[in-house]
Structure 1
Amino acid sequence: MSAAGCHGREASGPPVLSEGLRLFFPAAACLAVLSPLVWTALFGLSLPFGGEVPPSQWHAHEMLFGIYGAALAGFLTSAVPEWTDTEPRRGRALLVLLVLWLPGRLVGLVGFAPLSGLAAVTDLAFLGLLFWYVLAALIARGSTRHTSFALWVALIWLTEGAIRLSWLIGEIELGARLLHAALAIYLVFFSLALARINVAVVNLALDPSGATSRYRPHPGRQNLTAGLVALYAAAALLAPRSAVPAYLALAAGAAFFDRLAEWFIGRAVLRSHVFALAGATLLAALGFTLIGLAGLGAPVAPQTGFHVLAVSCLGLAVLAVFVIAGLRHTGRPLVLPWQAHAAFALMALAGLARVLPELGIGSSLAGAHYVVASLLWSAAFAVWLWGFLPALLSPTLDPPG
């Protein structure tokens, strides 16, 4: 991932509006800091205005479509123009996207059911405009190489509409299955993005000068995980009571375990940002394995697997992208400040606190572990903001020399 200036001179106006990630990564991080604190400290995990929709579904929705939705917007509005060598969206185009994202977050933060319809309209408009931004870049370039990203944005748009409709008509169980499908779609995005990001990240870890490219990914691994996650999501949505989703979850877990071979690069894997991407992949493997085992009758709750995927895997993956892109797209080398290392450590602790009591480890903390995990998760994004917000609000640095 190169610096933002790769598309020509930096546009006039505030630097925060010069590229999508400068605006949406801090927006996602601010919501990630605020929402767990509101849900645990203010509401005690309950949402008194949530109507028939359980608080757990409101929380899951806001994590996926609020926090990770903003992270996805920042990533795609920056990466797709870079991949297609087209002008990135700036200024007013980014502000419109942010304005469409905000109402749903204000409603979802307190679970205010009477305004759920307004939130649905603005969320669908937000995802629809994001789809157009991705598609327009592909059309302008005449490229089909990255059309999968446009396809999956369209699918997450359809999933959001289906979730809102299921809530409206009182199909709460269907809403839960659709939220699991949305989680799977974000894991597909993770898999597809990893296939593109990891090449540059690993090569820079092996040769920080960038003069050589020693690492070449195995082509068979690039899309295998995404394909198996997609198959699992379809089976879990359409045939939830059969054993098929369980076997497909185990297959997806095995594919993520196999993908760990991409990080057999010696001591360079111990660099924090490299290790974080490897750790997110390992957590994806463990999460799908737990879901598969639960589906086949093992004494583990499938929700534990979903929590590993949503809280630990995607949380660590999003932070890794925030750190890597936050440095590279502001003209800085991949030399991590202490806040990056601390954010990764806090996120890892948050995942452990959230999941271990459900696996019978530290079960005496059951109940309190929700609050502990939430505080650690918020702290991870707060520390990232501390270290990276000044750079994102400042002009891009000129490259050395």
Structure 2
Amino acid sequence: MKTQIHKFIVCICGLFLIFSSENAIAQTIDSIPPANQQQFLIHSKAINEDRTIWIHTPPEYNASTDTYPVLYLLDGGSHFKYVSEMVDFLSDFETNFISKMIIVAIPNTERGRDFTPIFDSKENGADNFLHFIKDELVPYIDKNYRTQPYRILEAHSLGGLFGIYANENAPELFQASIFISPALTGDKNRDKVMEEYALYLKKNKQLSRKFFVSIANEDKQAVDLLTKQLKMFASKSFQWNYKEYKEENHFSVPYKSMYDGLRFIYKDWHTEVFLNSNKILYKDIEEHFKKLSSEFGYNINPTEDFINQLGYQQLRFKHIDEAIEFFKQNIKLHPNSFNVYDSMGEAYMINGQKSLAIENYEKSIAINPQNENGKEMIKKLKNE
């Protein structure tokens, strides 16, 4: 059965960044229609308040058993909608530029308190916020969603200061970060964050990280300091990229930065297999994902839908044996999915292997009794 994935048109109607407000009120997502978006309330002992969290899962999340990396968005009320649409577009099986992922957005309550480390006070709001993310939110997400141990942080403006602070004080929390026009200088607390981060880089020469740093048409002092530190002290395994957007301002730069940042983090992800009419072997796809697993540090398998679509592509080009191999491998990877057996049944039917086609359609129906397509195919095959 060919799965249908909703295509999202990546658009932006306006970025209303909560930048200067210390007490911004969280927005609502009541008007956002997709069923793969939810919100929940979590009580934080670290901050001593309830926090609203917004979640976006891949479109096929509820119909698959796949696991996913997680993208955490600071200033969640500003970035959730366009980033969700962007990720779905870039990770679609045909586009295939980045991994599918779960998005966790954290809307603001007291932005300045949460993002600004205070070193000369007993109450460090950034430290409390970091403990909320590390000790409360991430464990909750990992427990309740199918996650992989790879987390990306998106941090804009003052959020970038918190992002640097988090990378130093909780080094295993985020494996990649996108820092957009980060506000890293301007007072003694920010200066101390950057001084300590330079020392941290000097002491940790084996860090394996991915950083994307951007700046709009604005003061470059902060990013110049960060990129200088990265040039001087970052290890060889620390991959980073810096980009200026002279045509954008502080409030419009997040959109382009997110696109380029995700493409940088996943620069080796893309494969042009869907534009290729030649025979494609599963072993070549397997090798591609082995390389990705080595790069990202966890076992990455192609998603069910990705392999399914490759199988149908091979069917369209009359590469029947190759198609059957893709469907067989999909069954190994996703034995509890009715769809993989349905696809296998169709391939055997096209290849004239009637008994095997019926056997796989029956397995599909056993998993999903509502599979009317499978029932129709069995009826057709038995009447031939």
Question: Do they fold alike, i.e. is TM over 0.5?
Answer: no
Relative to the length of structure 1, the TM-score reads 0.24
Q: Quick check: which has more Rg, 1 or 2?
A: 2
Relative to the length of structure 2, the TM-score reads 0.25
Quick check: which one's helix share is greater?
Answer: 1
